[in-house]
Structure 1
Amino acid sequence: MACLKLDARALNGLWNADHWERELSDPRRICVGIAEGSDNLSAVACGWIVLDELQITVVAVDPEHRRQGLGRTVLKQLLLDASSAGARQAFLDVAEDNHGALALYGALGFHTIGRRSGYYRNGKDALIQSLELQTDIKLN
């Protein structure tokens, strides 16, 4: 499974095969990816919609393809797809020291609305970020 391979490279094996199977088969979830060939995924962004909210569950880019705009591309498409499906607000969690991700999310209009202390396995805090899809989304 291409998502599992990308997960291992980009996220150090955050999710297992069962988790990816649920992510990809649930009709309430949206996944957007960029692939090179049939089994080589370079970037992916996924989320699930509950009522009018998109909870972004993962944004991953292969380390060999970072800083080429792929994360921005898949995340923007995820936001557009979610908005078309009725989502009005997006949320995500990001490690407070993930400066690359924070820069990407900030460039798209996300802002920090809270903190989850000790959220990650390594004890680091997560910042809760939010974006109003109808008013804040920056597509350029």
Structure 2
Amino acid sequence: MSDFLQTLTLSSSGMTAQATRLRHLSENIANVDTPGYRRKTVSFEAVLQGGAAGQVEVGKVRLDRAELTRIYDPGHPLADATGSYDGSNVDLMIEIADAREAQRSYEANLKVFDQARQMAQGLLDLLRR
């Protein structure tokens, strides 16, 4: 039965990590037009102590150090003497692709979780007979 519990733990850690990733991706998408906004990225780290082999957790959230786009708009309140201001460094296409990848990874972990749950339930039903 411990293998079933380990499988549930692994898949739930993956779902938690992907949900956190999706939250940060949605923040990036929401701030695509915010001047001076830097894209947030998350990394996954293996749980080394007390966790099951393969269990992951979200590491530090980092700001993307890529250059901010310069936007020419002399009428904008943040424009400098050249008529430009710093936009965000969020690329909407990359964020959407990353969000789709995170969603599919979440769904894969959910299917593993559900399959392990069904197998455990089937085993319990057999043991009750």
TM-score, length-scaled by structure 2: 0.22
Higher relative helix content: 2
Larger Rg: 2
Give the structure, 1 or 2, with the largest relative contact order (CA under 8 Å, sep 6 or more).
Answer: 2
